[in-house]
Structure 1
Amino acid sequence: MRRNAKDLAGRDVVARSIMIEIREGRGCDGPWGPHAKLKLDHLGKEVLESRLPGILELSRTFAHVDPVKEPIPVIPTCHYMMGGIPTKVTGQALTVNEKGEDVVVPGLFAVGENRLCIGTRR
C-alpha cells in the first residue's frame, strides 16, 4: 500500500488504496470475503492497550483476532453519507414519477443532515 497511501493519509485515500490493492489481487481471502490486513503488532502490547483499547476490543469481539499477535482483517466501509434525501426547500421529501419528474411524497419530511442539500456540502 505504500504506493497508494503513505502514513497518516486521509480516510478517503486509505479506503481507495485498500480497494485498489484488493482489486489488483493483492488482498486476502477469508470468511467475510476479500480484505486487507492491518498489522499493528509492531506497536507492542503496552501501546495497543494504552492508546488503542477500542481497536483491541472491536478486533477481538468481531474479527476474533488479537491485534497484539496477528493482523486485523479490514475493508473500506461507509463512514458517513455524502448526500441524502431529495427535498423541496420546505423539507418535503421528493421522489421521481414514471415521467422522470420530481413529485412530493405526501406526509414525508426530511430535516437536518439527511437532506440532500445539506449532505452534499460535506
Structure 2
Amino acid sequence: MDDFKNSEEKMAQRIQECRKKLDLTQEELGEKLGLQKSAIAKYEKGRVTNIKRETIHLMSKLFNVNPTWLMGFDVPIKTEDKDEVKTAARDKKVFDKYSKLDEAKRKIVEALIDSYFDENVEDEED
C-alpha cells in the first residue's frame, strides 16, 4: 500500500513539474485539458487520486511522457531508449567540445566532416 501512496505523491509532483517545464499556468493547463484551474491545483497537491484515464492520456500526450510514468510509477527504460540516451549524451559531449573551439579550428573540423561524407558518397556511387 505504501508503494501506491508514493505513486500518488509522485504523480502530483510530476504533473506540476511537467506543467512548469512547458511554462504553463494551472489555468492554461486546465484550458488545454477542458478542466478548471482548481482541478489542476488539486491534482498537483495530490488531493485527487482518481484522475480519469482520458485526462491522464491527454496530459501524457501534452507533456510527451509515458502515462505510466506520469501516474507515479517508475517505468523501466527499453534497451532502444537506453541506446538513444547514450547517443544523445555522446553527441552533446562532441558538440560541447566543438563549441569551445575557435573559428579556425571549427573550420578544420567541418572540413574533416565534409571530406568524410564526400568520400562516402563516392564509395556508394561505385
TM range (shorter): under 0.3
More strand by percentage: 1
TM-score, structure 1 as length reference: 0.24
Q: Which has the higher contact order (CA 8 A, sep 6+)?
A: 2
Question: Which of the two has greater helix per residue?
Answer: 2
TM-score (norm 2): 0.23
Tell me which structure has the larger Cα radius of gyration: 2
